Chains A and B, each alone.
Chain A
């Protein structure tokens, strides 16, 4: 398969376009954040309104799912979600490459969420966080513990695999449709790709919030 034509290429790293485009995504987000907060006004202008809309929407959704303490997690969850959505949407533009098409990038995001919610669980409950894995009664612990551990360790796996497979499958469908019907059909697939990009970022965010809320909840 011939290499696709990419607009942004660092000379030494042409075999790793996902890394290059991850940096492109990060620079995009950082620059837009910096430009927005450079002149903050009480009555916001156009760019600041857009950013406020995004952040307020994220925070409102997080408060509906996680309760009152959602504000602490806004930085990591909001940042991760904005990164994933922007990275997914970069693939829609012909000539740019979407970094989430590579499983290393999505695995990085998923492992971050995994480490974060266990860290939060230990910080909240101390060592008795382990009690969440043992089940309702103490003599069921040898049975419940492996099941709970497996279901917890499968979480970063499925998080990363879901996002990666959706993006990669979409790219392969685009390739095959282009080989078959190159004129109007790829446009339809590209539109569906925009839809899928938002939905998959949204699902990633929702699942991360559910895991964090599950790690921080009180014992029943």
Chain B
């Protein structure tokens, strides 16, 4: 009986999350030719820029994780300290990739044809 209650509760939570996120929707507006060209270039540069940033971020983080795992393998007693330092390092490297994401979001969301008006 209790197990059924837990599963019902989980189903309700999943349903709530699904329904509440469906309350948001995107809308599409009409754009002229120059605006389409700008957004085409912005979209292409976003894709390339984020891909290169993801490559750099993944390579750097993989080196950090590799050193952390080697340290833990040599000295399992220090795994707490090593894990903490690794997480901090990963967050700092990831923030660089996220700066690139912010620039790409600015390119995509800020509409230069509407700023002056």
- Chain A interface (Cβ < 8 Å from any Cβ of B): 1-2, 4-5, 94-95, 158, 161-162, 165-166, 168-169, 172, 174-175, 178-179, 182-184, 186-187, 190, 199-200, 202-203, 206
Q: Would you call A190 and B17 a contact (CB within 8 A)?
A: yes
Q: Would you call A174 and B95 a contact (CB within 8 A)?
A: no
Q: Would you call B17 and A94 a contact (CB within 8 A)?
A: yes
Q: Would you call B17 and A4 a contact (CB within 8 A)?
A: no
Known: A166-B98, A179-B26, A184-B14. A199 touches B91 (CB 8 A): yes
How many residue pairs bridge A and B at CB < 8 Å? 68
Q: Would you call A186 and B21 a contact (CB within 8 A)?
A: yes
Instruction: Enumerate chain A residues within 8 angstroms of B20, measured Cβ to Cβ.
Output: 5, 94-95
Write the nearest CB–CB distance from B16 to chain A, whole angstroms: 7
B contacts with A: majority SS: helix
Known: A184-B14, A186-B17, A199-B87. A165 touches B25 (CB 8 A): no
- Interface range for B: 20 to 34
Among B60-68, B71-79, B99-107, the stretch that binds chain A is B99-107
Pairs A–B under 8 Å by Cβ, sample size 14: A1-B25, A94-B17, A94-B20, A94-B21, A162-B98, A166-B94, A169-B101, A169-B102, A169-B105, A172-B105, A186-B18, A187-B14, A199-B91, A200-B91
